[in-house]
């Protein structure tokens, strides 16, 4: 379920500083969300209200960023039961018209992420603002963010990819398997790929030092992180370059 919509935010004065909100849980050391969140901010100035909801624990089991592309960086992303397929994703153009773009949709059944930054820019009244969402800590040795059923629609990305287990390249995208249903059977075509599209299947996949642009970013299952910060900044602000991870998940 999505949280109740917030009251419309009052317009910000141009000289006001950007808002920033950080959410933590000192008792358990992690933030646990139990309802679904859609971050599709049509006006970034309303993000201050969203930040207040974060601090109050009103966020959910999952995270979804949609509607327009977002830039992101991460030191490392490691997932089990990895699949990818080429799909057509619906988009809304700046003029309000709709269309589609071809993206590489990647999915993990279970994943761990070593720090994550998401940046989205938008023009408001002729000025550029950037919404920055950062998760995790600053330790390159920890994969501190845990996820389930992660889906990324990539428009472009750079980084280092390492796959293990049985790796199947150029498989039919509609035959890729990632998550299971309540009975324990694999969900058919979880990435919603058309038939005969390029696909990848692997038992494990690890991406290091990713810098990319995603058309859609979904973590509808469990998402836990030791820290989350949301800020709105004037101008075009990029995520910092990701540091190289140290070690591998589950090892010193």
Query: How does pLDDT run across 147-160, given as a tens digit for each residue?
Result: 888 899 999 999 99
Residue 12, pLDDT > 60, answer no
Q: 55 pLDDT exceeds 60?
A: no
Contact 147, 116 (CB under 8 A): no
pLDDT in tens, 128-150: 889 888 888 889 988 888 888 88
Instruction: Assess whether pLDDT exceeds 50 at residue 51.
Output: no
Closest CA to 73 of 161, 162, 158: 158
CA distances from 9 to 6, 46, 233 (A): 8, 5, 16
What pTM was estimated for this model as a whole? 0.74
**Residue 50 confidence (pLDDT) above 50:** no
Q: Would you place residue 63 in the very low, low, confident or very high pLDDT band (cuts 50, 70, 90)?
A: low
User: So what's the pLDDT on residue 48?
Assistant: 38
Per-residue pLDDT at 92? 75
Q: How confident is the model at residue 91 (pLDDT cuts 50, 70, 90)?
A: confident
> What is the structure's pLDDT at 168?
93
DSSP-derived letter for residue 180 is: B
219/247: higher pLDDT: 247
Q: 18 pLDDT exceeds 60?
A: no
Q: Give the dihedral sign, CA 149/111/210/168.
A: negative
**Angle 107-108-110 from CA coordinates, rounded to 5°:** 160
Give the CA distances from residue 29 to residues 23, 25, 66, 145, 194, in Å, rounded to whole numbers and listed in that order: 11, 5, 29, 12, 42
Residue 99 is predicted with a pLDDT of 84
Look at 236 and 57; give whichever has higher pLDDT: 236
Contact 134, 229 (CB under 8 A): yes
pLDDT tens digits for 220-232?
666 788 888 888 8
- Considering only residues 172 and 90, tell me which one the structure prediction assigns the higher pLDDT: 172
More confident residue, 205 or 32: 205
Chain mean pLDDT for the chain: 77
Bridge partners, 33 (sequence order): none
- The per-residue pLDDT for 98 is 83
pLDDT > 90: percent of the chain: 40
Q: Are strands 62-65 and 70-92 parallel, antiparallel or unpaired?
A: unpaired
| Percentage of the chain lying above the pLDDT 70 cut | 71
In the predicted model, what is the mean pLDDT of residues 54-64? 46
Among residues 204, 179, 165, 166, the alpha carbon closest in space to that of 77 is found at 204
Enter the tokens of residue 223: 């998402």
Bridge partners of 114, per DSSP, are: 76
Give Cα separations from 215 to 70, 116, 140, 163, 222 (angstroms).
7, 16, 27, 23, 21
């Amino acid at each position: 379920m999505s949280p109740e919509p917030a009251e419309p935010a009052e317009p910000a004065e141009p000289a006001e500083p950007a808002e920033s909100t950080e959410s933590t849980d000192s008792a358990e050391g992690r933030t646990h969300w139990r309802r679904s969140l859609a971050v599709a901010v049509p006006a970034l100035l309303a993000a201050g209200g969203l930040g207040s909801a974060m601090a109050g624990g009103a966020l959910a089991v999952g995270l979804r960023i949609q509607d327009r592309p977002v830039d992101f960086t991460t030191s490392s992303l490691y997932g089990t039961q990895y699949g990818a397929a080429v799909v057509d994703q619906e988009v809304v153009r700046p003029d309000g018209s709709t269309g589609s773009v071809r993206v590489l949709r990647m999915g993990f059944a279970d994943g761990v992420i070593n720090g994550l930054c998401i940046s989205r820019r938008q023009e408001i009244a002729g000025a550029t603002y950037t919404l920055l969402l950062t998760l995790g800590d600053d330790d390159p040795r920890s994969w501190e963010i845990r996820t389930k059923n992660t889906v990324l629609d990539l428009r472009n990305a750079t980084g280092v990819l390492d796959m293990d287990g049985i790796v199947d390249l150029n498989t039919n995208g509609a035959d890729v398997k990632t998550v299971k249903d309540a009975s324990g059977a694999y969900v058919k075509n979880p990435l919603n790929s058309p038939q005969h599209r390029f696909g990848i299947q692997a038992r494990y996949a690890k991406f290091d030092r990713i810098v990319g642009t995603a058309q859609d970013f979904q973590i509808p299952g469990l998402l836990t992180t030791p820290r989350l910060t949301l800020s709105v900044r004037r101008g075009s602000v990029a995520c910092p370059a990701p540091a190289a991870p140290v070690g591998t998940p589950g090892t010193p």
